[in-house]
Amino acid sequence: MKGSEGQPNLDALRERAAVLVEALPYLWQFRDHVIVVKYGGAAMQDEALRREVLRDISLLKQVGMRPVVVHGGGPEISEVMRRLGKEPVFVDGLRVSDAETVAIAQMVLLGSTNPALVAEISGQGTPAIGLSGKDSGLVKAAKLSGPRDLGFVGEVAEVNVELLARLLDEGFVPVIAPIAPGPEGATYNINADHFAARIAGALKASKLVLLTDVRGVLEDKEAPETLISELSAARAGEMIAAGGIDAGMIPKVEACLDALGAGVAKCHIIDGRLPHAILMELLTDYGIGTMVVQ
Amino acid sequence: MKGSEGQPNLDALRERAAVLVEALPYLWQFRDHVIVVKYGGAAMQDEALRREVLRDISLLKQVGMRPVVVHGGGPEISEVMRRLGKEPVFVDGLRVSDAETVAIAQMVLLGSTNPALVAEISGQGTPAIGLSGKDSGLVKAAKLSGPRDLGFVGEVAEVNVELLARLLDEGFVPVIAPIAPGPEGATYNINADHFAARIAGALKASKLVLLTDVRGVLEDKEAPETLISELSAARAGEMIAAGGIDAGMIPKVEACLDALGAGVAKCHIIDGRLPHAILMELLTDYGIGTMVVQ
Amino acid sequence: MKGSEGQPNLDALRERAAVLVEALPYLWQFRDHVIVVKYGGAAMQDEALRREVLRDISLLKQVGMRPVVVHGGGPEISEVMRRLGKEPVFVDGLRVSDAETVAIAQMVLLGSTNPALVAEISGQGTPAIGLSGKDSGLVKAAKLSGPRDLGFVGEVAEVNVELLARLLDEGFVPVIAPIAPGPEGATYNINADHFAARIAGALKASKLVLLTDVRGVLEDKEAPETLISELSAARAGEMIAAGGIDAGMIPKVEACLDALGAGVAKCHIIDGRLPHAILMELLTDYGIGTMVVQ
Amino acid sequence: MKGSEGQPNLDALRERAAVLVEALPYLWQFRDHVIVVKYGGAAMQDEALRREVLRDISLLKQVGMRPVVVHGGGPEISEVMRRLGKEPVFVDGLRVSDAETVAIAQMVLLGSTNPALVAEISGQGTPAIGLSGKDSGLVKAAKLSGPRDLGFVGEVAEVNVELLARLLDEGFVPVIAPIAPGPEGATYNINADHFAARIAGALKASKLVLLTDVRGVLEDKEAPETLISELSAARAGEMIAAGGIDAGMIPKVEACLDALGAGVAKCHIIDGRLPHAILMELLTDYGIGTMVVQ
Amino acid sequence: MKGSEGQPNLDALRERAAVLVEALPYLWQFRDHVIVVKYGGAAMQDEALRREVLRDISLLKQVGMRPVVVHGGGPEISEVMRRLGKEPVFVDGLRVSDAETVAIAQMVLLGSTNPALVAEISGQGTPAIGLSGKDSGLVKAAKLSGPRDLGFVGEVAEVNVELLARLLDEGFVPVIAPIAPGPEGATYNINADHFAARIAGALKASKLVLLTDVRGVLEDKEAPETLISELSAARAGEMIAAGGIDAGMIPKVEACLDALGAGVAKCHIIDGRLPHAILMELLTDYGIGTMVVQ
Amino acid sequence: MKGSEGQPNLDALRERAAVLVEALPYLWQFRDHVIVVKYGGAAMQDEALRREVLRDISLLKQVGMRPVVVHGGGPEISEVMRRLGKEPVFVDGLRVSDAETVAIAQMVLLGSTNPALVAEISGQGTPAIGLSGKDSGLVKAAKLSGPRDLGFVGEVAEVNVELLARLLDEGFVPVIAPIAPGPEGATYNINADHFAARIAGALKASKLVLLTDVRGVLEDKEAPETLISELSAARAGEMIAAGGIDAGMIPKVEACLDALGAGVAKCHIIDGRLPHAILMELLTDYGIGTMVVQ
């Protein structure tokens, strides 16, 4: 039921209308478009932010977009490992994974993180469905090659895009954990940014949105006020080569470049700690993070 | 392209987000719903308001609703009559219409007002289509009965709702002039509020929105600050009976009662002079006029 | 109910059967084919002919073809102009049109001629729908270039064929007035033969039928008995160049050439004063006018 | 290509137009309607009539009706029987049928008459398909009960209407021989008028047309000029009871009553020797035989 | 209802399961695939074998394949000819056919053999439909060219594959007699192996199965134990050239080569006298005849 | 490729054919039918049996049925609990579940058991998808009422059958863990037999198959040779009341009664240790367990 408040405040009406008039064309533009959101960091750990983000994703779906969520697991995997008597080891930000470690990672991601997200989105009346690379062969992993053997740490070798397309056509919000079967039936753990980029690329998504704990890519990596609003792929490559991008940001920018190369229209690195960061980035002219484009 | 403005203003973000978070569920709720808008008055005469209203109707369509516009012709008919040497005569607000008068009314409504509205909405990329009761037998008129013979002034006898439904399914915004064929092939002029109510009733519309030049229904018809936000059909009947409603407002309230009786969910009498009155009424919790409900 | 008349007249039966056996294969051949009829001249002014023509168009629709009607306005525009105090001026058969003139032309075409045709066809149970270039951007006009500035006289710059196709699929008979929006939101008046040719071309119509007040193209423009039944586009071009075609007929032949060039299969210039001219031309082997072919 | 013949003969045009204007609404009315034609008699034996009838059936199909043909076999069965050394025996017009006789009847009907009809209709570009009660269990026969045992002479016990409906939907003209499997896998020969009536009834056909070698039902069975154009079922019953109908006509009238009772709209007993009898009866106001109605 | 037999016999269970586990993937593989079966020889003459074969074809249909049956007529044609006083004459295994002979062949094939097969398959709840080349122009024949004029003996000139495809889509099992219309409206008799090969080729069938009265192609044509399980088209050509294939087998091998050339995946020459030969060949790893492949 | 083995062994052919001829009609009968399999016990723990069962489920899907798998977790939950320092406690076969216990149960079921089953079925080319009650609100739990508070042990309160139906229509094999959200957002652990029965009931499944570690229901619960092949619901109720059914079997029989009451056609309690128990029960006349029917 609507409330009435005496004389209408014309300025307030005009302001509200302005936000809507700005937002509605974006809704139209993105109707039925696939938006892949890599979800993690503070926006996943903080209870209030988490509720806000999942609500925003639910709203995107309700107004006709096709959000796909890829999530990591983060601190909880390490915590369960320790409770089971294993000490986590990381190399260059990647978790060294023997068979037991990857089994624990799968157990936490699919048995704890994923169902919690799925239940929360579904609880808002938005039909979310939990997936990993194992469902119907959605993703096939290859062992990550590199200077050091990290065990069952993989990269995406193949995406069964037809499966995802059918689920999106059926109206589901896929919530995907970056676990996938690899050679010889083994299970592999995959970096979630990379996983999300490949999913976005395979779906020819309109957008890949990476939720992070920083403002975006900075002109001067020491100066937060030097946020770059729009960054071309070429320029991003030069900045990485020149050492101008923060180490922690490099895999995210690389994920964007990977996605753009596979046909994703635009990638957004945004600060998940800002209120309603996703809605702001998608539905307003107000650029809150860094948009990476071809 | 998105602009960036240094440090994000968190309060501004929260405010914008609040408007969106409020509006998006209404979008979801009204997806594919039929909204009949009776368009007239200042919102049609004033150039700036007119642009705003037609833009808002276009936005409603773009975000997935099914707006239907019914318009009157107002002052322009009288003006052309006078230029052609006929003096307009009104009885109880209804134009006394001999054959020539109704021919002029049709000429102005279908040959001037309607194509202008259609061209303006279509020019925004929204496919509008101009109609009258004559198209495919959309509406059949009966002569209006009453104490005095007003000539070719009619009321709606029948609506070919299947035709409208097909045009809505095809994605058009019907823009309808209240002209219809009646007995013996004659053309009839019909009051636009009544015409809109019958169209809304036949379509089982979710909403009938009447754009007027006043705030809405008032508790005390002399005191604009006594706007009634929500009015039940029963109460409206009592107020009319008790003389509590302004004479000019009575036909509008009666049109609402007619529509409600035919199955329309909610009717809104709003002030077309307020900025973006339609968007505000449909997409915010902010009640700007009077909502009449069963 | 059927009547019986004693002994059957075998010759009469054979004659009737012969007409049907001749006609039915044409019905089969043109099932679902688009037939664009340019309607004007005596067939529009004469009450009896008019009824006959609109009935024939209705029959074409009922037996499965897809007629599209394009009409002019003719004498009525000039009459209303004069009543409003403006003297019509013509140059080479085209009406010089200032803003007021085009507004009056639109008012008459859309507010008088078009709804009358639409109501009459619809009254026969055939769903006709009135349109102009303004509906959903059906036609975009460009200012007609030429030696003399005729004001708001346009030519067809673009046809939104998808809109018409949808209406035809939905079973409507489009009845179109040659009015369209042009540059800077101005309204343009377009020659109806040219307009019909472009509509036919955009629809890849099977036939363009031009109803005229003469027998067709003549071998000797002074001798009506020298009617040419079938005329190739090449020959038509030569005849125009050689001055062998009557001045009033030239724009009609040019409209045919324009349509043929755009993919229309056959164009027919026929005499709208002959009884059931359209049925005869489409459903019998009896050639009553001039057929122009590639 | 169309021919031109100098000055148009206006009377001839008007006459041709009149036939078409009369016929086209019937075409519209019967679009997609099922018309069951019992084909036999002179119209099957006479080469010229036969060609005409099959052409008419083909035309009905081409203009959008759904003809179904049921045929008898007549003289040819007896001829083959005699060549194989069996003398045909008839009781009340029904062929006494031992196992060998019904095998010969099937051989002639399905192996000679039916494929000839099917090939001739198909040869006109109309997809005909030959059937008997054995195809997909189209018709199940029961032994005809009666005072005398006629052997394998059956009546229709059940029609698999769904099969026929699918073939009609696929655009075929079913041509059906009145042979059907009965109890214990035996083959039964069925009277073609009765068979056609049951097929028409099962299909809820719009019309059952019986081609005969007489004018129709006569008021005075001795006087051909007393043809009854329209006969109610009730009146037909009375006439049979009163002995007012010719013995040979009785089974045909009974077939009509059977079909009417099963929901067929109208039955026509017409003279197959008249030129284009079917077209005349279906597409003109000219009643050439007897129409039996509920 | 299921029976229980005390302690389960584990070996029996394992054996049954093995058969199913072997068969089910074939079912999956051939789901919706077209299997053309040339039916003739002992499997058609012997009552018990015949019942078995038609049951197997019915089962293929029930589990989702699309069987098409082409049959010959064999001894019965000669028998009826003799009864009608004509002595059959054969040249190189082909029946010399004057007009009367082909009429008798058609009468037997379409009036006796075909309806019997159709009734028997339909009687099992599987919708079979009898066809010849005459139905809807399914097959057009050309006169068979060769050193000697055999009269109305034809070869397949054209297959209307769209007709068959529609019947298969509608769920029918077509049962086709090798009779077809040829030049000048004459009827032609066609060798059934050749006819089946062309039908299979036109349908791009997955398999052509020829039921014969021998084991298959032999390495040494005198030694039945030298059955060749799999034969390449190239090798088959060489064997024919070298005289290594039995004269009676040559047309069958040639039919296979014809079908393979037209896109059929695999052809099987199998012994119709073996129990359930078709099921065994299609649903087990057990090769019972000769498979000819590209 | 098919093997040939000299002279065909006719007895072997007949035996194989017999198995197929028996099985194929069941395939036809169960085409597109929903078969819910409760998977657990030895058939899940034993590596070889497990492979066999999952292969059989995959085959059911491939031949056109719609299997749905519901699984328990069994020993692994207790093992992980112990490794995390919690001692499992059971009351009447149900695990007493505080919040941590249910979190561990969910972690094991969804993070270990479920993805292993899904990956194994998917690895056979059959698209399996892992689910729990949390996906799109598939199942809502209520706290299990009873004499003792077991904590987060639930029962099925509601099944979102439309979700499952869509996934089945899309061709997926749902593999469901009996975990569901309950009141106040808590997670509940549900007995898998009961969960499977409710899923089967909601889907109106044709069959519910419970894989157990015993032969079925016994006439004399001490004598395995007294297996009851078919048991009516009424009789089952009496036996439970009379104490004639083994305590461990009671919940399984109750699950069957629950499913039958909700519209499942037949329930099967079979011994998962027998080879290919599911195939045998569904595709042969050989009853290997107890079938419970209404």
> H helices within F37-97, ranges in order?
42-45, 47-62, 75-83
Q: How confident is the model over E137-154, as pLDDT tens digits?
A: 999 999 998 888 999 999
Buried b (16+ CB within 10 A) or exposed e, D114-129: bbbbbbbbbeeebbbb
Asked if residue C29 lies in contact with residue D29, where contact means CB atoms within 8 angstroms, the answer is: no
- Please list, in sequence order, all residues whose beta carbon lies within 8 angstroms of the beta carbon of residue D265, skipping any fewer than 6 positions away: D205, D206, D207, D293
Q: Name the region of E147 (left: φ>0; alpha: ψ -120 to 50; beta: rest).
A: alpha
Considering only residues C195 and D73, tell me which one the structure prediction assigns the higher pLDDT: C195
Q: Write the single-letter amino acid at D106.
A: Q
Cβ of A123 and F107 within 8 Å?
A: no
Q: Which helix (H) or strand (E) holds E270?
A: strand E266-271
Residue B10, pLDDT score = 77
For D16, the closest chain C residue by CA position comes to C19
Question: Do residues C192 and C40 make contact, with C-beta atoms less than 8 angstroms apart?
Answer: yes
Asked if residue A169 lies in contact with residue A127, where contact means CB atoms within 8 angstroms, the answer is no
Question: For residue C133, what is the enclosing H or E element?
Answer: none
CB contact (8 A) between residue A24 and residue B63: yes
- Output the six-digit token pair for B166: 């097909």
- Helix E10-30 with F47-62: angle, nearest 10 deg: 40
Distance between CA atoms of residues A34 and C278, nearest Å: 52
Q: How big is the CA angle at E89 (ends E86 and E94), to the nearest 5 degrees?
A: 130
User: Phi and psi for C96 in degrees, rounded to 5?
Assistant: -65, 130
Give the per-residue pLDDT at F123.
Answer: 93
Average pLDDT in chain F = 92
Token match 């006609």: residue? C23
CA A190 – CA A197 distance, rounded (Å): 12
**pLDDT confidence of residue F98:** 93
Q: What is the pLDDT of residues F12-57, one digit of tens each?
A: 888 888 889 889 889 889 999 999 999 998 889 898 999 999 999 9
Report the C-alpha gap between D198 and D141 in whole angstroms: 11
Residue C28 pLDDT level (bands cut at 50, 70, 90): confident
Write phi, then psi, for D286 (nearest 5 degrees). -85, 105
Rounded to whole angstroms, the Cα distance separating F151 from F189 reads: 9
**F48 CB-near residues (< 8 Å, 6+ apart):** none
* Secondary structure letter of residue E111 according to DSSP: I
Residue F5 pLDDT > 50, yes or no? no
Which chains lie within 8 Å of chain F at 3 or more CB pairs, if any? A, E
At C176, is the secondary structure helix, strand, or coil?
strand
Question: Across residues D260-271, what is the average pLDDT?
Answer: 96
Calculate the CA C114 to chain-centre distance: 13
For chain B, the residues whose C-beta falls within 8 A of a C-beta of chain A are 1-8, 10, 13-17, 19-21, 23-25, 27-28, 31, 55-56, 59, 62-64, 225, 227, 229-230, 274-276, 279-280, 283-288, 291
Q: Provide the 3-class DSSP secondary structure of residue D214.
A: coil
Does the pLDDT value for residue B1 go beyond 80? no
C44-89 pLDDT, tens digit each = 989 899 999 999 999 999 889 999 999 998 789 999 999 999 999 9
User: In chain B, which residues have their Cβ closer than 8 Å to the Cβ of A229?
Assistant: 2-4
- What is the three-class DSSP state of C171? coil
Q: How far is residue A131's CA from residue F225's CA, in Å, rounded to a whole number?
A: 45
Query: Are the C-beta atoms of C126 and C179 separated by less than 8 Å?
Result: no
The SS3 of residue C291 is strand
The residue to which tokens 């015409």 are assigned: B195
pLDDT (tens digit per residue) in C211-241: 999 999 999 888 888 999 999 999 999 999 9
Do A173 and A121 meet the contact criterion of CB atoms below 8 Å apart? yes
Residue B154 pLDDT grade (very low, low, confident, very high; cuts 50, 70, 90): very high
**Average confidence (pLDDT) over C266-282:** 92
Residue F7 pLDDT grade (very low, low, confident, very high; cuts 50, 70, 90) = low
Q: What is the mean pLDDT of residues D193-213?
A: 97
pLDDT digit string, tens, across residues F211-252: 999 999 999 888 888 999 999 999 999 999 999 898 889 999
Tokens of C215: 């027998």
**Which candidate, B213, B210, B208, B214, places its Cα nearest to that of B226?**
B214
Residue with tokens 């409760």: F38
Helical (H) or strand (E) element with F293: strand F290-293
Question: Can you name the residues that pair with F212 across neighbouring β-strands?
Answer: F271
Beta carbons of D130 and E127 less than 8 Å apart: no
pLDDT 10s digits, F253-293: 999 999 999 999 999 999 999 989 999 889 887 778 999 99
Q: For residues B50 and B38, give the distance between their C-alpha atoms in angstroms, rounded to a whole number.
A: 13
Residue of E nearest to F218 (CA): E6
CB C176 within 8 A of CB C138: yes
User: Closest Cα to residue C199, out of C29, C39, C45?
Assistant: C39
HSE value, Cβ hemisphere, 13 Å, CA-based, for D204: 4
**pLDDT on residue F159:** 97
Is pLDDT at D1 greater than 80 in this prediction?
A: no
Kindly state the tokens that stand for B231. 């009015």
Handedness of CA E132, E135, E136, E137 (dihedral sign): positive
pLDDT digits (tens, 9 = 90+) for E49-58: 999 999 999 9
The partner residue sitting opposite D17, judged by closest CB among C1, C20, C279, is C279
| Rounded-to-10 torsion of CA F243, F249, F251, F255 | -110
Smallest Cα distance from A230 to chain B, Å:
8
Mean pLDDT of D90-118: 94
- pLDDT at position B4 is 44
Residue of F nearest to A100 (CA): F112
What's the pLDDT at D2?
Answer: 42
What are the structural domains of chain D?
32-293 (3.40.1160.10)
Sequence-ordered alpha helix ranges (H) in chain D = 10-30, 42-45, 47-62, 75-83, 99-108, 114-122, 161-169, 192-202, 233-241, 250-261, 277-283
Confidence check: pLDDT of C115 > 90:
yes
DSSP conformational letter for C110: I
What is the secondary structure of B99-135 as a DSSP string? HHHHHHHHHHIIIIIHHHHHHHHHTTT--EEEEETTG
Return the pLDDT at C288.
Answer: 86
DSSP string, E43-93: HHHSHHHHHHHHHHHHHHHHTT-EEEEEE--THHHHHHHHHTT----EETT
Closest Cα in chain A, distance from residue F126 (Å): 7
CA dihedral (F242, F245, F249, F252) positive or negative:
negative
Q: What is the 3-state secondary structure (H, E, C) of C21-58?
A: HHHHHHHHHHCCCEEEEEECCHHHHCHHHHHHHHHHHH
Tokens of F91: 């009351």
**What confidence score (pLDDT) does residue D28 get?**
86
**Is 90 exceeded by the pLDDT of residue B65?**
yes
- Which residues in D lie closer than 8 A to residue C218 (C-beta atoms)? none
CA C249 to chain centre: 14
Residues of A in contact with F112 (CB under 8 A): 103, 106-107, 111
pLDDT at E8: 64
pLDDT of residue C1: 36
CA–CA distance, C100 with C106 (Å, rounded to integer):
10
Which residue from E6, E19, E291 is facing F20, i.e. has the nearest CB?
E19
Q: What is the pLDDT of residues C98-108, one digit of tens each?
A: 999 999 999 99
DSSP string, E234-251: HHHHHHHHTT-S-TTTHH
Q: For residues E252, E253, E255 and E256, what is the CA-based torsion angle, rounded to 10 degrees?
A: 130
Q: Edge to edge, what strands does the sheet with B128-132 contain?
A: B128-132, B173-177, B66-71, B34-39, B207-212, B266-271, B290-293, B230-232
- Mean pLDDT taken over chain D: 92
How far apart CA F177 and CA F169 sit, in angstroms, is: 20
Percent of chain E with pLDDT over 90: 72
Mean pLDDT by 10 residues, chain A (294 residues): 54 86 89 96 90 94 94 90 93 89 96 97 95 97 91 96 94 97 94 97 97 92 88 95 90 96 96 91 84 94
Other Cβ atoms less than 10 A from the Cβ of F219: the count is: 12
Interface with chain F: mutation pick from E5, E16, E57, E124, highest number of F CBs within 10 Å: E16
Q: To 5 degrees, how large is the angle CA A89–CA A94–CA A100? A: 55
Lookup: tokens for D234: 């009730």
Determine the pLDDT at residue A187: 97
Q: Does the pLDDT value for residue E221 go beyond 50?
A: yes
Integer Cα distance of F166 and F158 in angstroms: 17
